[in-house]
Amino acid sequence: MTRISRISGFSVFLLMLAPPLSALANPHEFKLANGLKVIVKEDHRAPVVVSQVWYRAGSMDEYNGTTGVAHVLEHMMFKGTPSVPAGEFSKMIAAAGGRDNAFTSRDHTAYFQQLQKSRLELSFKLESDRMQNLQLTDREFAKEIKVVMEERRWRTDDKPQSLVYEEMSAVAFKEHPYRRPVIGWMNDLENMTGQDARDWYQRWYAPNNAVLVVVGDVQPKAVFALAQKYFGHAKAKALPERKPQQEPDQQGVRRVNVKAPAKLPYLLMGYHVPVLKNPEQDWEPYALEMLGGVLDGNESARLNKALVRDSRVASSAGASYDAISRGPGMFLLDGTPSEGKNVAELEAAIREQIDKIKQDGVTEDELLRVKAQVIAAQVYQQDSTFYQAMQIGEFETAGLSYKALETRLAKLKEVTAAQIQEVARKYLTDDSLTVATLDPQPLEGKQPVAPPKGLHH
Looking at the annotation, which residues are catalytic? 74
> What distance in Å separates the CA atoms of residue 396 and residue 284, rounded to the nearest whole number?
20
Q: How many CB atoms lie within 10 A of CB 78?
A: 22
Q: CA-CA distances (angstroms) from residue 41 to 113, 121, 203, 331, 434? A: 15, 17, 30, 32, 41
> What distance in Å separates the CA atoms of residue 14 and residue 158, rounded to the nearest whole number?
45
Count the alpha carbons within 13 Å of 110 in the hemisphere toward its beta carbon.
25
Runs of H (alpha helix) within 233-363 = 284-295, 302-303, 343-360
Put the strands of the sheet holding 329-337 in their side by side order: 254-261, 433-441, 266-273, 329-337, 314-321
Count the alpha carbons within 13 Å of 180 in the hemisphere toward its beta carbon.
28
Runs of H (alpha helix) within 153-305 = 160-172, 186-190, 194-204, 220-231, 284-295, 302-303
Q: Which residues lie below 8 Å from residue 103, measured CB to CB, with a gap of 6+?
A: 74, 109, 110, 457
Chain-centroid distance, C-alpha 78? 22
Measured at the CA of 37, the angle between CA 36 and CA 38, to 5 degrees, comes to 115
| 3-state SS class at 52 | strand
Using only C-alpha atoms, the chain has a radius of gyration, in whole angstroms, of: 23
293, 373 in Cβ contact below 8 A? yes
Positive or negative, the CA dihedral 154, 158, 160, 166 is positive
Chain-centroid distance, C-alpha 50? 18
397, 209 in Cβ contact below 8 A? no
294, 357 in Cβ contact below 8 A? yes
| 3-state SS class at 238 | coil
Chain-centroid distance, C-alpha 102? 13
Looking at residue 27, what DSSP letter applies?
A: P
Is residue 356 exposed (0-12), middle (13-18) or buried (19+ Cβ within 10 Å)?
middle
